[in-house]
Amino acid sequence: MTPDTPPAVRPRRRALRTVGLIAVAAVIGLVGGTATGYGIQAEREPTPLPALNQPGLAYPKPLPKGQEPEPLSAAEDRQVKANGDLRKLLVPRPKGARADGEDGWESLAVHASGYTGPSNMLEDQLDLGIRRVASRSWMSGELRSVTVQLVQYRSGSRAGAAEHVENQQRVASREDRSGSSGKEVKGSGNGRYYVFPVEREPGYMDLYMARAYIQHGDIAITILISDTRKIAEKDIRSLAEQQLERM
């Protein structure tokens, strides 16, 4: 015991004696109740056990002899889409929008260059097991820029898509000066979208930004919108939902 440790309060002997009597009474009651229960049970007629076989619980439904199970359809097997051409899963460019930048496969070097600290981002993505990137960008209105990326990761000991999305959501929450942690993308489970406060700097036009980060299996979905005019919340939300519906 150190000098700073307060002395423990010793219980009075009367309290210990009372606790001892209660414990003995509890043991006697337990033994007596158990003996009475055995006596009642011994006088009862034996109860038949239920049948062990319950065919109604069989699952899945047994197939006729010699018949093989049907393969999953493309609608049932999500990997059919995920392992196909990712470019076909990208949300289409809206009518009237102008193509801008990448539209199709995107190299890893180009993908990493879009982040602060490209070399560190490249190393991080390789560590997560990045496999391929499909991207589509367009311009609409006067100066609105939109980019949608599907980043697929290899299967392994690390859930690359989930880790990447979680990391980007953490960064977005930190960069959002309003203190927002984003809002949920309907039907995504862990997808979040963010609408950031305007950025103003002397000599430059106002900058508005919105982002969405969604994990779908081994694919990380990233949506970026920037504009010189205010971005409505429904714009990023509806685009995120449209992209998720195509997965």
Q: How many residues does the chain have?
A: 247
Q: Each residue of 85-120: pLDDT tens digit?
A: 999 999 999 999 999 987 999 999 999 998 888 999
Query: Which amino acid type is present at position 148?
Result: V
Q: Which of 108, 100, 103, 73 is nearest to 88 (CA)?
A: 103
pLDDT > 70 in the chain, percent: 65
Q: Which of 175, 165, 182 is nearest to 221 (CA)?
A: 165
Q: Which of 187, 198, 196 is nearest to 240 (CA)?
A: 187
Q: Which residues, given as ranges, of the chain have pLDDT below 50?
A: 1-40, 42, 55-60, 71-77, 80
Q: For the chain, what are the domain ranges?
A: 85-245
Taking domain 85-245, whether its CATH number is 3.90.1460 is answered by no
Q: Are 143 and 209 in contact (CB under 8 A)?
A: no
119: buried, middle or exposed (CB in 10 Å: 19+, 13-18, 0-12)?
Answer: exposed
Task: Provide the token pair at 6.
Answer: 């307060």
pTM of this structure = 0.66
